[in-house]
Amino acid sequence: MPKSLWTPGQDRVDRANLSRFMRFVREEAGNADLNSYAPLWRLSVDQPAKFWTLLWDFVGIRGSGERSPVLVDDEGMASARWFPGVNLNFAHNLLRFDDERTAIRTLAPEGERAVLTYAQLNRRVAALSAAMRAAGLAPGDRVAALLPNGPEAIVAMLAAASVGAAWFNCPASLSQAQAAAVLASLQPRLVFADVAADLDGLDAVLASGAAAVLMRGPAPEDGSATGLLAFVADHADAPLEFTPLPFDQPLYLTVAAPNDGAREVLVHGAGGTLIQHLKELVLHADLRREDRIFFHADNDAMSWYWLASSLATGATLVLHETGDLPPDGDALWDLVDEAGITVLGVHAAWLDAATRSGRVPRETHRLQSLKTILTAGPALAADSYEYVYRDIKERVFLAPVATGIDTLACVAIGAPLLPVNAGEIPCRALGMEVEVLDADGHPLVDAEGDLAVCAPFPSMPLGYWNDPDGARYAAAHFSRHPGVWCCGERATLTAHESLIL
């Protein structure tokens, strides 16, 4: 076993949501031997129906209908469907709190821009969703956004989800022509933009019948877009309504990693995204209501979707409207101290650059609130693990994750009961039957191979947009090892069940 950089103290272990969940499983399932992570992971992959149903109860998912069968996969992993007898609404689950606790705090370089309580968030979503319904939006329609990382994007997403429309955050990385082509294929009913200039190049999309709503800038005189205040003017006192929808109702549309130059759009279901995110946030990230969580990420990154789902825990989301937080400066650490951030998410490349900068944040900042650092993106360099515990904070839970926009989920992640070793992701995520396979599909230990998920998981995409027979989707994700989810990433599964990417 390698030397651990961090080992959780007994007090942290006892208080962890994951420990509470293990006690819950022992009581409900009668498994007295369930006292550590490894047997819990084994139960989660060997008995998926039991695990996901127990998780549902533990995190308090709101839904109706019959939960059995939990999984239908008679035609293989690519066509697996979860909880086919259940109806729920994604926004209903995220907006379970309606009080004066801060839901979203938005900061900009010039200072604080907005604070929304959960009660205010509910009222804004209610007004906007009522306006959407009045404009004819219905389940299955698409809503597109060209918005910065502010509260407006989250409010609009929740309003769309309450109706049952699918939400598309247009990636800033797309060229104007690429964005126009993707939007034309999706044919959105509504397009949300920050200012009128964001709509440049979208004439064909708007001419096809999409209505444009500007969140901040003045509406153009030609009537090509409506201001937000005018759009919601008649709905200020509307009640908050949630349309019950099937578990796999399309929720998010994301641009997949380029495949031979093609820009495919993945369709993600509401229920799968919800239960997967709550598992990761509550059990793996140990998120709770008193936390203040921040991700240094754009709106089209997987971590933005994770951040939005954090509302279901009642935590406070801290948003920063620009990406101008250089790794060789103080801006991010200033933000941690100013906002009292407890759970900090950064890109692995950002933390690697901070490591090379030579700065020592623990000498220049208090960082008293900080308890968890999450990293997404490529593998975090081993030196960066050492940097965190030497130069940032000794008693902090570092949880690198292996994830991606293709699944909106983590295949590997940390756990508050497990030690942190340099260069390793501590464990395979609960409910994810992750293996490393050789060229013939045989599992490997302590040898590099293909990272694969060998059994269905709830947040598997429903497929590609405009791929009615699923052929393109199957070719991209199930062809390397037939019947197994594999996207070409390489990894090593160690003998102590951590992962090295």
CA distance to 13, 14, 20, per residue, from 10 (Å): 5, 6, 14
Per-residue pLDDT of the chain (501 residues; tens, 9 = 90+): 677 999 999 999 999 999 999 999 999 988 777 889 999 999 999 999 999 999 999 999 999 999 999 999 988 898 899 999 999 999 999 999 999 999 999 987 777 788 999 999 999 999 999 999 999 999 999 999 999 889 999 999 999 999 999 999 999 888 899 999 999 999 999 999 999 989 999 999 998 889 999 998 788 888 889 999 999 999 999 999 999 999 999 999 999 865 555 679 999 999 999 999 999 999 999 999 999 999 988 777 888 999 999 999 999 999 998 768 899 999 999 999 999 999 999 999 999 999 999 999 999 999 999 999 999 888 999 999 999 999 999 999 999 998 866 889 999 999 999 999 999 999 999 999 999 999 999 999 999 999 999 999 999 999 999 999 999 999 888 988 988 998 788 999 999 999 999
pLDDT of residue 300: 74
At 172 the pLDDT is 86
Fold entry, domain 102-243:
Rossmann fold (3.40.50)
In this structure, are residues 146 and 153 in contact, taking their beta carbons and an 8 Å threshold? Answer: no
DSSP string, 256-307: PPPBTTB--EEEEEHHHHHHHHHIIIIIIS---TT-EEEE---TTSHHHHHH
CB-based contact 493:501 (threshold 8 Å): no
Among 82, 17, 27, which residue's Cα sits nearest to residue 54? 27
User: What is the separation of C-alpha 149 from the centre of its chain, rounded to a whole number of angstroms?
Assistant: 14
Return all residues near 102 (Cβ < 8 A) that are at least 6 apart. 115, 116, 117, 118, 316
d(CA 104, CA 114): 8
Q: What residue ranges do the domains of the chain occupy? A: 102-243
User: Rounded to whole angstroms, how far apart are CA atoms 463 and 474?
Assistant: 8
Q: Report pLDDT for 76.
A: 86
Residue 258 makes CB contacts below 8 A (sequence gap 6+) with: none
Residue 456 and residue 77 in contact, taking contact as beta carbons nearer than 8 Å: yes
Q: What is the predicted pLDDT for the residue at 145?
A: 96
Residue 129: both structure tokens together: 């969703």
Structure token digits, residue 143: 């809503």
pTM for this prediction: 0.96
446: exposed, middle or buried (C-beta count within 10 Å: 0-12, 13-18, 19+)? Answer: exposed
Which residues pair with residue 145 across a beta bridge?
A: 169, 192
pLDDT for position 259: 53
- Tell me the two tokens of residue 449: 């191979």
For the beta carbon of residue 110, count every other beta carbon within 10 angstroms.
Answer: 7
DSSP-assigned states of every residue in 204-241: HHHHTT-EEEESSSPPPTTSSSEEHHHHHGGGTTPPP-
Query: What's the CA gap between 121 and 249, in Å, rounded?
Result: 23
pLDDT of the residue at 416: 95
Classify residue 98 by burial, with Cβ atoms within 10 Å: 0-12, 13-18, 19+. Answer: middle
Q: Could you tell me the CA-to-CA distances from 128 to 125, 227, 249 in Å, in that order?
A: 5, 12, 20
CA distances from 371 to 359, 392, 395 (A): 20, 11, 7
pLDDT at residue 262 in the model? 62
Report the SS3 class of residue 20.
helix
Question: How would DSSP label each residue in 323-373?
Answer: ----TTSSHHHHHHHHHT-SEEEEEHHHHHHHHHHT--HHHH----S--EE
Instruction: For residue 267, give the nearest of 137, 157, 165 by alpha carbon.
Output: 165
Among 378, 402, 398, residue whose Cα is nearest residue 388: 398
Here the tokens at position 197 are 């200039």
Q: Let me know the angle formed at the C-alpha of 154 by 148 and 160, rounded to the nearest 5 degrees.
A: 120
Interatomic CA distance for residues 6 and 153, integer angstroms: 36
* 421, 274 contact by CB (below 8 A): no
The token pair at 340 is 């009292």
**Which of 262, 298, 347 is CA-nearest to residue 172?**
298
In a 10 Å sphere around its CB, with 0-12 CB exposed, 13-18 middle and 19+ buried, how is residue 209 labelled?
Answer: exposed
